[in-house]
């Protein structure tokens, strides 16, 4: 579910409630969602700790526990982290509950159970994905010159690279499609064939799309809610994602959905023409992706 803008919204809504709070109790209702250490050590190591700050790295949330280390949470497709002033009747799909020293509680809720939690010591490395994150467009922006060097020679579709968290941190399926639309680039374009100009447009588009989504507190399609249980307001601003069959807001063409890099992919075929169809003197057949070079 949540991409960078949604996780950032969760971070912002949790920060005032959690900062400075002591963790009084830890209940683990689904042990296999605890990735490290084993659930009993997790519980014992977390209880009695204190939250010094709430950080985000890409799509990971990080509770800084001071000398006790940090609690890392990944929400994956369907996870939520929700704070409540008073313990509430166990919401469905609640997996972990932290009781805080002001009587409030923090619940990790996850219908599909794909999410994960790691309790790390102060010097302990986190999961691989966390240690290999690329630049964060929300926090730092994107370096187009770096992208140009990284994309050179790559035959992967540009969308696959946008979804690679080691290339850009926090971009997911929604904002990859939205950024490619804003940059007028077909998602299946081989990354190595993009010129300096389109790459610059794409870098700016990723920053703009992600920051605008944060300003609207994220996109709620199904289950996403922020740290106070509120849905995001960016949905009505989406240009292509989830708009299959509707007309392009810029040119009126019907939005189509295809599969790229194994993911459902939305685009406007007029605003984002296929690069191989535009090649002069080459039929679409002979230059289609996967076709052998003449």
**Binding residues vs DNA (CB under 7 A):** 1-3, 6, 32, 58-59, 74, 76-78, 93, 111-114, 127-129, 154-157, 160, 163, 165, 172-174, 219-224, 257, 261-264, 289
Q: How far is the CB of 245 from DNA (least distance, A)?
A: 11
Per-residue CA distances from 276 to 156, 185, 199, 267 (Å) = 14, 12, 18, 16
Pick the closer one to DNA by CB: 211 or 263: 263
Per-residue CA distances from 102 to 64, 157, 222, 228 (Å) = 18, 50, 31, 16
Q: How far is the CB of 11 from DNA (least distance, A)?
A: 15
Using CA atoms, how far apart are residues 237 and 220, in angstroms rounded to an integer?
12
Active-site annotation holds for 273: no
Active-site annotation holds for 24: no
Active-site annotation holds for 263: yes
Which listed residue (148, 249, 257, 263) is catalytic? 263
Pick the closer one to DNA by CB: 86 or 293: 293
Pick the closer one to DNA by CB: 10 or 100: 10
Coil, helix or strand at residue 15: helix
Q: How far is the CB of 35 from DNA (least distance, A)?
A: 10
Q: How far is the CB of 112 from DNA (least distance, A)?
A: 3
Residue 55 in tokens: 């950080």
Pick the closer one to DNA by CB: 100 or 210: 210
Is there a contact between 69 and 124 (Cβ–Cβ < 8 Å)? yes
Q: Which residues contact 29 (CB under 8 A, 6 or more apart)?
A: 94, 95, 96, 97
Which listed residue (2, 5, 137, 187) is catalytic? 2
Active-site annotation holds for 3: yes
Which listed residue (59, 70, 159, 243) is catalytic? 59
Task: Identify each DSSP E strand in 37-181 by its residue range.
Answer: 53-57, 60-64, 70-74, 79-84, 94-100, 105-110, 116-120
Q: Which residues form the catalytic set?
A: 2-3, 59, 263
């Amino acid at each position: 579910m949540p991409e960078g803008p949604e996780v950032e919204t969760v971070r912002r809504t949790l920060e005032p409630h959690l900062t400075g709070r002591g963790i009084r109790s830890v209940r683990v209702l689904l042990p296999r969602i605890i990735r490290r250490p084993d659930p009993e050590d997790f519980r014992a190591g977390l209880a009695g700790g204190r939250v010094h700050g709430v950080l985000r790295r890409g799509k990971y949330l990080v509770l800084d526990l001071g000398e006790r280390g940090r609690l890392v949470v990944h929400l994956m497709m369907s996870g939520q982290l929700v704070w409540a002033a008073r313990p509430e009747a166990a919401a469905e799909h609640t997996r972990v509950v932290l009781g805080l020293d002001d009587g409030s509680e923090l619940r990790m809720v996850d219908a599909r159970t794909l999410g994960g939690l790691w309790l790390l010591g102060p010097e302990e490395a986190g999961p691989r994905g966390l240690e290999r994150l690329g630049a964060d467009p929300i926090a730092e922006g994107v370096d187009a010159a770096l992208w140009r060097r990284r994309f050179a020679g790559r035959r992967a579709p540009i969308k696959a690279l946008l979804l690679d968290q080691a290339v850009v941190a926090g971009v997911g399926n929604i904002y990859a499609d939205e950024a490619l639309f804003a940059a007028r680039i077909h998602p299946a374009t081989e990354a190595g064939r993009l010129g300096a100009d389109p790459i610059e447009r794409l870098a700016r588009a990723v920053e703009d799309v992600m920051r605008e989504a944060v300003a609207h507190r994220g996109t709620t399609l199904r289950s996403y809610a922020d740290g106070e249980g509120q849905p995001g307001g960016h949905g009505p601003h989406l240009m292509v994602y989830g708009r299959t069959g509707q007309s392009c807001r810029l040119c009126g063409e019907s939005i189509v959905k295809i599969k790229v890099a194994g993911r459902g992919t939305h685009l406007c075929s007029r605003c984002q023409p296929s690069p191989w169809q535009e090649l002069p003197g080459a039929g679409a057949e002979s230059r289609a992706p996967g076709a052998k070079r003449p």
